[in-house]
């Protein structure tokens, strides 16, 4: 169990909410866009998108990263859900940091990891539109 009394000195209320109760957890490669990214620290994040008529109906994630990474994954899925794909493409590290009220310097790369996983899922979506047969060659989890 996370002791929010101590870490609240370092993390915003929004970050703590997502850290302790992450939204949209769980990915499947049976989706319309799948992205996996690795951070500079070696932690990874996966994001899966369900897309219809160019709108993101669902955005889910999984990560084995730190608490800040879990919060950023949860936040980026919430930011992307309901948006047009082209709008979601503009969600970057800075947008995540603004949304969550900032992170300690040592965790800035956690927001970058979440943004990169989302961008790779969107790239995958565009690639699947151009060459749907490539979905067959996604690596199994």
List contacts with ligand FES (CB under 6 A): 39, 41, 43, 65-66, 68-69, 107, 109-110, 113
Helix (H, G, I), strand (E, B) or coil at 44: strand
Contact 83, 55 (CB under 8 A): yes
Q: Which is nearer to ligand FES, 31 or 114 (CB)?
A: 114
Q: Which is nearer to ligand FES, 68 or 80 (CB)?
A: 68
User: CB of 63: closest distance to ligand FES in angstroms?
Assistant: 8
User: CB of 131: closest distance to ligand FES in angstroms?
Assistant: 31
Q: Which is nearer to ligand FES, 56 or 68 (CB)?
A: 68
User: CB of 10: closest distance to ligand FES in angstroms?
Assistant: 13
Residue 77, classified by CB atoms within 10 Å of its CB into exposed (0-12), middle (13-18) or buried (19+), is: buried
Positions of E strands within the chain: 33-38, 44-52, 55-63
Strands 33-38 and 44-52: antiparallel
Please state, in angstroms and rounded to a whole number, the distance separating the CA atoms of residues 87 and 46.
Answer: 20
Nearest to 121, CA basis, from 55, 42, 29: 29
Q: Which is nearer to ligand FES, 68 or 122 (CB)?
A: 68
User: CB of 28: closest distance to ligand FES in angstroms?
Assistant: 22
* CB-nearest residue to ligand FES: 41
């Amino acid at each position: 169990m996370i002791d929010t009394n101590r870490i609240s000195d370092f993390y915003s209320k929004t970050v703590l909410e997502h850290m302790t109760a992450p939204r949209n957890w769980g990915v499947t490669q049976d989706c319309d866009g799948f992205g996996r990214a690795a951070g500079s620290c070696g932690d990874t994040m996966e994001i899966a998108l369900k897309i219809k008529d160019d709108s993101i109906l669902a955005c889910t994630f999984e990560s084995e990263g730190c608490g800040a990474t879990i919060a950023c994954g949860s936040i980026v899925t919430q930011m992307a859900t309901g948006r047009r794909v082209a709008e979601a493409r503009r969600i970057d590290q800075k947008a995540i940091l603004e949304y969550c009220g900032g992170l300690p310097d040592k965790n800035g790369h956690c927001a970058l990891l979440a943004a990169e996983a989302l961008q790779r899922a969107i790239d995958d979506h565009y690639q699947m539109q151009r060459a749907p047969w490539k979905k067959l060659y996604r690596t199994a989890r």
